Amino acid sequence: MKMYEKAPAKINLMLDVLHKRADGFHEVEMIMTMVDLADRLELSELKRDSIIISSQAGYIPLDEKNLAFQAARLIKDRYNVRSGVHIHLDKRIPVAAGLAGGSSDAAATLRGLNRLWRLGIPVQELQELGAELGSDVPFCVTGGTALATGRGERLTPIANPPQMWVILAKPPINVSTAEVYGRVRAGNIAVHPSALRMQQALEAGDFSAVCEGLGNVLEDVTLKLHPEVQQLKEAMLKLGADGVLMSGSGPTVFGLVSKHSKVARIYNGLRGFCKEVYAVRSLS
Ligand SMILES: C[C@](O)(CO)[C@H](O)COP(=O)(O)OP(=O)(O)OC[C@H]1O[C@@H](n2ccc(N)nc2=O)[C@H](O)[C@@H]1O
Ligand SMILES: Nc1ncnc2c1ncn2[C@@H]1O[C@H](COP(=O)(O)OP(=O)(O)OP(=O)(O)O)[C@@H](O)[C@H]1O
């Protein structure tokens, strides 16, 4: 038997850090939404008790470091599943980009194995399992648009963004999420983006207000480490994006555009100096 799952990328429309917690994680307030750029997973049942990961992408781990492997092992152990699975990952989301590619693969694995092995695990329990794998995984289990608090695992669904285009550009640099959080000084953040304001903009379907409400306190850290991310933001704005922000801990920058007529100009302009550029729709 085979199951197929799509694993979409996320962007953070706003991300605020409130304080560092005793467990080393940071208390955050974020609004995340999915975009129409997705990995594809094919999950095939194996009679023997093993987990096999394969992918056309040569640049991701295929062993127990792969988040899809970890998700499969977790669900197998927790529910005493004897059979195995072969998971083929058709990677389309850029890796280590701030787009939660690995987290979304893990979430899609939890959803897919729940169906493949007919486990009947309720969504909330899948999210709790997801939280053991990473802070972004619970959101990726359900997707949509949500306010995420705690370390990112406490979710409140909110209205999807109005129809818009999202242009994503990933510069060829590596950013460590742990390092970026490690450099944040919550007490020194000058301007905190407002979750309430973004939530109201989304509920009202007000595209301009969504653009005005964009904010990510991790930007300051990543931009200092990698000035090319700032240059990419400026280029996107110059080319006509209505709103521009870095996603997660970076380095991907996204631009929001309401008019389709602007998309080709921005896409082509960025392709001149950035190899990984995507123009997609927000998922609603
Ligand atoms: C930057 C975001 O992607 C925005 O959505 C998330 O906050 C991070 O999500 P993630 O990559 O799933 O993060 P995890 O794999 O759970 O954690 C990676 C590292 O980031 C730091 N981390 C992560 C989340 C959080 N709320 N506080 C943290 O300090 C921790 O040092 C942790 O060791
Ligand atoms: N299924 C997977 N897909 C991509 N990367 C994976 C996967 N499993 C493990 N990894 C490893 O995880 C690391 C982060 O990759 P990923 O694409 O998930 O980052 P990200 O988009 O920055 O995630 P986030 O936004 O959740 O911080 C990479 O170094 C990669 O080797």
**What are the residue ranges spanned by the domains of the chain?**
2-157, 165-281
- For residue 88, pLDDT over 90 is answered with yes
- The stretch 102-130 carries a mean pLDDT of 98
Q: Is the ipTM beyond the 0.85 threshold?
A: yes
Per-residue burial over 190-223, b if 16 or more Cβ lie within 10 Å, else e, is eeebbbebbbbbbeeeebebbbebbbbbbbbbbb
89 contacts: CB under 8 Å, gap ≥ 6: 39, 40, 41, 53, 54, 55, 57, 60, 66, 68, 105
In this structure, which residue's CA is closest to atom 19 in ligand 1? 178
pLDDT for 156 equals 98
The whole-model pTM stands at: 0.97
pLDDT tens figures, 239-280:
999 999 999 999 999 999 999 999 999 999 999 889 999 999
Task: Report residues whose beta carbon is within 6 angstroms of any ligand 2 atom.
Answer: 60-61, 65-68, 89, 95-103, 105, 136, 177, 248-249
Task: Kindly state which CATH superfamily the domain 165-281 is placed in.
Answer: GHMP kinase, C-terminal domain (3.30.70.890)
Q: Ligand 1: distance of its center to the CA of 57 in Å? A: 24
- For residue 284, pLDDT over 90 is answered with no
Task: Report residues whose beta carbon is within 6 angstroms of any ligand 1 atom.
Answer: 12, 15, 25-26, 28, 30, 100, 103, 134-136, 151-152, 177-178, 181, 248-249
- The stretch 144-150 carries a mean pLDDT of 98
pLDDT for 59 equals 87
Report which DSSP code applies to 57. -
Instruction: Tell me what percent of the residues of the chain surpass a pLDDT of 70.
Output: 100
2-157: in CATH 3.40.50.300: no
pLDDT for 273 equals 85
Q: What is the mean pLDDT of the chain?
A: 97
Q: Ligand 1: distance of its center to the CA of 136 in Å? A: 7
Gap between the Cα atoms of 79 and 70, Å rounded:
14
pLDDT for 241 equals 98
∠ CA(274), CA(279), CA(271), 5° rounding? 20
- Ligand-binding site membership of 187 (annotated): no
pLDDT for 18 equals 97
Gap between the Cα atoms of 283 and 188, Å rounded:
35
pLDDT tens figures, 204-243:
999 999 999 999 999 999 999 999 999 999 999 999 999 9
